[in-house]
A and B are shown apart, each in its own frame.
Chain A
Amino acid sequence: MLDCLSRMKPVAFRYFAPGTVDEALDLLAAHGQDGKILAGGQSLVPAMNFRLARPASLIDINRIAALDYVLADGSKLRIGALARHARFETPIANGALSVLLPRVARHIGHLPIRSRGTFCGSIAHADPASEWCLLAATLDAEFIIGGRRGRRRVHPDDFFVTALTTTLEPDELITEIRLPLLNEAWRTGFAEFSRRAGDYALAMCAVFLRFEDGRVVEARIGVGGATDRPLRITAAEGVLTGTDATPDVLREAENIAAETIDPLEDIHASAAFRRDLVRAMVRRALDQALTR
């Protein structure tokens, strides 16, 4: 039996708007199996309009004021489930992230999308082109996940399975994400390629380099948009570590990145083109990190 292209209004659903995290977790326990959390809705609602997503229940967490925070807490940036992308357009932390986060946020969709979409929602959705997923993976973020069966902390490597697929259980909610607040010894860079302003990234790179006496002592190089999940290119990081980051070292790093990934293929970019783009974005991100 074949589907007759009939869609642009969602399938009917039950709607809940809990006011506390506990209520939300209770609802998830009861309805999570065939239900979804509604936060920003900028990814979920289009899918529902196309009837590709057909949740029987929507648990709208937008009324849970307790989840709307971004806090610098010692060495961590704690991001609550309702922190919108727009929050990050202005510097909200000191250190290396103060410049980087606004630079990244500007690439996320467009202004109206950033008004509603959330940082944590983006992580839960796990689109390969998600900028925050890339940052989280590159910085070894901590995901705090709540559920009636208990709370847990998860590392990105144990969270992202493949495109749009994570280890988040149907009765769980990401309540907070923690990023390390890198100090000024770190230099950062971010570059993204998309066809039009605001489009999904076809390739992007986030770079974090810590220098001591002019040498790279720690390097984090993450690539996203080009593979099914964000990846740290540890081989490229290894090539840079302990060096002065001279041009030939940088070239080697970008080539390793381009060659070691297993690229996605779609109508916008072939595997070969994605390699070209990864090479270019790694180069740009590294150049940015080295130019103050």
Chain B
Amino acid sequence: MRWVGRSLPRYEDPILLQGRGRYTAVLARGARILRFLRSPVSRGRILALNAPPEIPIITTAVLGDVKPVCPRLDRPDYVPVPQPILAHDRVSYVGEPIAAVIADTAAQAEDLAEQVTIEIETETPVVTLNQALAPGAPLVHDTAAQNTLIDARFETPEVGAAFAAAHQVVEFTFTSGRQAAMPLEPRGAVAAFDLATGRVLLSASTQMPHLLRTGVADALGIPESELRVIAPEVGGGFGQKMALIPEYVVVVWAARHFACTVAWIEDRLENLTASFHARDQRLHLRGAFHADGSLLAIDADILCNVGAYSNFPATCGVEPLMAMADMPGPYRVPEYRARARGIATNTCPMAPYRGVSRPVITAAMERLMDYAAARLELDPLEIRRRNLITEFPHTSVTGVVHDPGSYREAMEAAARVVDVAQFRERQQQARLDGRWLGLGMSVFAERTGPGTPAFAARRMVITPGYERVELVMDPSGFLEARIGSSPHGQGLRTALAQLLADEIGIAPAEIRVISGDTDRTPYGWGTFASRSLVLAGGACKLAAAALRERLQMVAGQTLEAAASDIEISDGRAFVRGTDLAVDVRQLARAAYHQSHRFEAIADTGLSAVATYDPYGTFSNACHIAIVEVDVATGQVTIERFVVVEDAGRLVNPMIVEGQIHGGVAQGIANALYEKVVYDDGGNLLTGSLADYLVPTMAEIPRIEIHHLATLTDASVTGAKGVGEGGTIGAPAAILNAVSDALAPFGIDIFEMPITPQSIAQLLREGGAKRNER
């Protein structure tokens, strides 16, 4: 391996470093600017829209037969609800787009928008889970009784018996505060109508160009071939751009209707208010334990506040269903009962956000372990030793297959790195000095690179999964790899170039990875679910093997040797054991311009296509956080954060670590800082970055990372995905650490974010224990 495993600086960087990145807003120059008028109230009936006659305004009536977004799951416990592209006669959340105006500049568009007034007869909204589930509560959608959009259940036959026979049952309610993905670049789309062809080029800040094309084409009732979607440089997504955004439909519609270029560049207020939210959940968890600490059963009642509509294509079922399927985590759980519901409210709809439900369920399960350990008088490490999966493959109680991993090894390694025993001494001494230190850990397995089977299990009607890659070598020996994934900061182009370089025997600098253009790349699913390196990487490896064989055939003919005796490295093909060699460049030329000589590759030339659609593979990690809690103010300071992770073969270690850093930072944010807040009327109170608290460098400590590497057959490259691990494990480690720090006060933490105010209140209340049996 020459290139895989090296921390190669990214090919993506020079353009970005010089400020030449072509983000969507750059493409808006010279375009007509669209500005949306959004509902200022969370619920009501639209009585009238009053606009001066000279203002061109787009309303639902003007849109005509544009279809609503209506994502589906093929299961009876799911209620599909259509979301109109622009609100019809009712509004269902603050920020819901009602109409749009067009002007030459953004400032003018705002001036025009101010002249439009909307009369709405307001109604009492349902904002919280409790309000939505209260008997007789107003319904967000008439078709969804009790505001329940999905109500999934799972139960193993002996779960009741397991609880009855348990030595100890512990239970608590765990709450996760609503999150906003907050990519630095808000959303945006520029649609250019081509007068010559009648097609529209949609440049959009998106993670899923092909699915966006499908969704927009469906909404407008046009063939997909009429639309070309390009994801230019995308400034972060984290899942928020992995959905069909109704505003993008309006932009394309307007471009077609006015036969020009139309742009919508979201501002931060819109982004915080009306772009997808996530993780507004409450779950009640019960664990049945044997006296020796082994888990006999768990019972989870999961409630997700999914907002007013269902996102396309993942649907509002994504959080509840993932929570239900993945709750057991890295542990052996013999019996399991779960109910997972998605509840509609008059708030902004949710879409998957990095980690999806796993940050919440991991936090809940890791709190369960520590909480039970305390009651069983076991060390937190010990209780986990008794429950972690150590034999592979392991099929979980929900039927999920875990390929080989190092769940326990990662935990033991992290404990050694941190020197838990030494910390306990220091903690003891600190307590005598009136300082409250805590150590918390989380152990988790992250499902990555799930192929079609995984999504099919959720019964998504639009079932993502596979990735296809097309490789073409041009006459200069330069390789183009066209992929369906759509990176937005993950360094995929560099990592794939490294993989391909090793597989074929040329340099990464001679490889160009093309992504994000539906006219040039095979249909793919985008970048999410920690999938791209596993799936696009796998497809690259398979396609590269085929391409290398073709090169070997050409070389063999050229050098008068058997193809199997040809090796290719550093851009030269040579006969093994001799100095007979020829440049790959020359082979490429010959293959194109002397094709009659190379009948063996007549069908394909120097190209190859491969599709990879595996079951998926689990990466794993252990996070340990050491914190200090200032009981005078409730402030939590993170003294140390350690990650021991196993992502199999690391193609580019520097990029892997970058993903973990970013994920951990968002996880810390989730645990201590960020919360989307609505008032009782469904009005957003966190509409600015002064109120939605994204951490700065001052709040994020140094993150130490150590690597293990378990290679499995579950991924043809040996690489496992890592994109979401940081967000999945970090909150649990922090919450456990804070609980550990405050244990002398009798306080247990069962919420996130855990804010200084909450801690101060718990201290003031004397740390009453909760839900103890």
Residues of B within 8 A of A6 (CB): 35-38, 110, 113-114
- Is B37 touching A4 in the complex (CB atoms < 8 A)? yes
Of all chain B residues, the one with the shortest Cβ separation from A3 is B40
Is B195 located at the chain interface by the 8 A CB criterion?
Answer: no
Residues of B within 8 A of A5 (CB): 37-40, 94-95, 269-270, 273
Give the docked Cα–Cα distance between A6 and B696 (Å): 28
- Is B757 touching A273 in the complex (CB atoms < 8 A)? yes
**Chain A positions 257 through 274: 1 when the CB is less than 8 Å from some CB of chain B, otherwise 0:** 000000000011110110
Residues of B within 8 A of A196 (CB): 673, 693, 695-696, 698-699
- Is A270 touching B757 in the complex (CB atoms < 8 A)? yes
Is A199 located at the chain interface by the 8 A CB criterion?
Answer: yes
Q: What's the minimum C-beta distance from B113 to chain A, rounded to whole angstroms? A: 4
Is B220 located at the chain interface by the 8 A CB criterion?
Answer: no
- Is A198 touching B269 in the complex (CB atoms < 8 A)? no
Pick the contact of A2 from B40, B267, B677, B757 — CB < 8 Å? B40
Is A211 located at the chain interface by the 8 A CB criterion?
Answer: no
**Chain A positions 6 through 22: 1 when the CB is less than 8 Å from some CB of chain B, otherwise 0:** 11111110000000000
Interface residue ranges of A1-52 to B (CB < 8 Å):
1-12, 50-51
Of all chain A residues, the one with the shortest Cβ separation from B99 is A4
- Is B40 touching A11 in the complex (CB atoms < 8 A)? no
Pick the contact of A8 from B95, B267, B698 — CB < 8 Å? B267
Residues of B within 8 A of A199 (CB): 690, 693
Interface residue ranges of B727-768 to A (CB < 8 Å):
755-757, 760-761, 764
Residues of B within 8 A of A233 (CB): none
Pick the contact of B699 from A197, A267, A273, A277 — CB < 8 Å? A197
* Given known A2-B41, A196-B693, contact A8–B110 (CB-CB < 8 A): yes
Give the docked Cα–Cα distance between A108 and B634 (Å): 22
**Chain B positions 32 through 53: 1 when the CB is less than 8 Å from some CB of chain A, otherwise 0:** 0001111111000000001000
Residues of A within 8 A of B639 (CB): none
Interface residue ranges of B249-296 to A (CB < 8 Å):
267-270, 273
Is A279 located at the chain interface by the 8 A CB criterion?
Answer: yes
- Is B269 touching A7 in the complex (CB atoms < 8 A)? yes
Of all chain B residues, the one with the shortest Cβ separation from A274 is B757
- Is B270 touching A4 in the complex (CB atoms < 8 A)? no
Residues of B within 8 A of A12 (CB): 107, 111
Residues of B within 8 A of A198 (CB): 696, 698
Is B83 located at the chain interface by the 8 A CB criterion?
Answer: no
Interface 9-mer from B22-30, B115-123, B443-451: B115-123
- Is B760 touching A8 in the complex (CB atoms < 8 A)? no
Give the docked Cα–Cα distance between A9 and B110 (Å): 7
Give the docked Cα–Cα distance between A279 and B634 (Å): 13
- CB contacts between A and B, total, < 8 Å: 105
Pick the contact of A4 from B38, B633, B677, B761 — CB < 8 Å? B38
* Given known A2-B117, A196-B695, A270-B757, contact A11–B111 (CB-CB < 8 A): yes
Residues of A within 8 A of B632 (CB): 276, 279-280, 283
Residues of B within 8 A of A280 (CB): 630, 632-633
Residues of A within 8 A of B630 (CB): 280
Give the docked Cα–Cα distance between A193 and B699 (Å): 14
Q: What's the minimum C-beta distance from A264 to chain B, rounded to whole angstroms? A: 13
Is B146 located at the chain interface by the 8 A CB criterion?
Answer: no
* Given known A2-B120, A195-B693, A273-B760, contact A8–B677 (CB-CB < 8 A): no
Is B580 located at the chain interface by the 8 A CB criterion?
Answer: no
Is B106 located at the chain interface by the 8 A CB criterion?
Answer: yes
- Is B677 touching A267 in the complex (CB atoms < 8 A)? yes
Residues of A within 8 A of B756 (CB): 195, 273
Residues of A within 8 A of B699 (CB): 196-197
Give the docked Cα–Cα distance between A283 and B631 (Å): 13
- Is A200 touching B633 in the complex (CB atoms < 8 A)? no
Pick the contact of A193 from B37, B41, B635 — CB < 8 Å? B635
Give the docked Cα–Cα distance between A265 and B267 (Å): 28
- Is A4 touching B40 in the complex (CB atoms < 8 A)? yes
Is B691 located at the chain interface by the 8 A CB criterion?
Answer: yes
Q: What's the minimum C-beta distance from B337 to chain A, rounded to whole angstroms? A: 37
Residues of B within 8 A of A268 (CB): 691, 757
Pick the contact of A197 from B38, B690, B696 — CB < 8 Å? B696
Give the docked Cα–Cα distance between A12 and B690 (Å): 25
Residues of A within 8 A of B36 (CB): 6
Interface residue ranges of A42-98 to B (CB < 8 Å):
50-51
Of all chain A residues, the one with the shortest Cβ separation from B49 is A4
Q: What's the minimum C-beta distance from A11 to chain B, rounded to whole angstroms? A: 7
- Is B116 touching A4 in the complex (CB atoms < 8 A)? yes
- Is B98 touching A4 in the complex (CB atoms < 8 A)? yes
Of all chain B residues, the one with the shortest Cβ separation from A277 is B633
Is B686 located at the chain interface by the 8 A CB criterion?
Answer: yes
Is B602 located at the chain interface by the 8 A CB criterion?
Answer: no
Q: What's the minimum C-beta distance from B596 to chain A, rounded to whole angstroms? A: 63
Residues of B within 8 A of A7 (CB): 110, 269
Give the docked Cα–Cα distance between A51 and B687 (Å): 14
Give the docked Cα–Cα distance between A51 and B110 (Å): 10
- Is B696 touching A4 in the complex (CB atoms < 8 A)? no
Residues of A within 8 A of B677 (CB): 267
- Is B37 touching A200 in the complex (CB atoms < 8 A)? no
- Is B40 touching A200 in the complex (CB atoms < 8 A)? no
- Is B764 touching A8 in the complex (CB atoms < 8 A)? no
Interface residue ranges of B600-635 to A (CB < 8 Å):
630, 632-635
Q: What's the minimum C-beta distance from B31 to chain A, rounded to whole angstroms? A: 16
Give the docked Cα–Cα distance between A283 and B630 (Å): 13
Is B562 located at the chain interface by the 8 A CB criterion?
Answer: no
* Given known A199-B690, A276-B633, A280-B632, contact A1–B119 (CB-CB < 8 A): yes
Of all chain A residues, the one with the shortest Cβ separation from B632 is A280
Give the docked Cα–Cα distance between A268 and B757 (Å): 8
Q: What's the minimum C-beta distance from B100 to chain A, rounded to whole angstroms? A: 11
Q: What's the minimum C-beta distance from A197 to chain B, rounded to whole angstroms? A: 4
Q: What's the minimum C-beta distance from B60 to chain A, rounded to whole angstroms? A: 15
Give the docked Cα–Cα distance between A4 and B269 (Å): 12
Residues of B within 8 A of A4 (CB): 37-40, 98, 113-114, 116-118
Residues of A within 8 A of B764 (CB): 272, 276
Is B55 located at the chain interface by the 8 A CB criterion?
Answer: no
Q: Give the 9 A-B CB pairs with smallest separation, nearest first.
A: A197-B698, A8-B267, A6-B113, A4-B37, A9-B107, A280-B632, A1-B117, A5-B38, A273-B757
| Sample (9) of A-B pairs whose CB atoms are under 8 Å apart | A1-B50, A4-B37, A4-B113, A4-B117, A4-B118, A6-B38, A197-B697, A197-B699, A276-B632
Beyond the given pairs A5-B95, A277-B633, 19 more chain A to chain B contacts, judged by CB atoms under 8 angstroms and listed by A's residue number, are: A1-B117, A2-B119, A3-B40, A4-B39, A4-B40, A4-B114, A5-B40, A5-B269, A6-B37, A7-B110, A7-B269, A196-B673, A196-B696, A196-B699, A197-B696, A267-B691, A269-B757, A280-B632, A280-B633
Query: Interface of A with B (CB < 8 Å)?
Result: 1-12, 50-51, 193, 195-200, 267-270, 272-273, 276-277, 279-280, 283
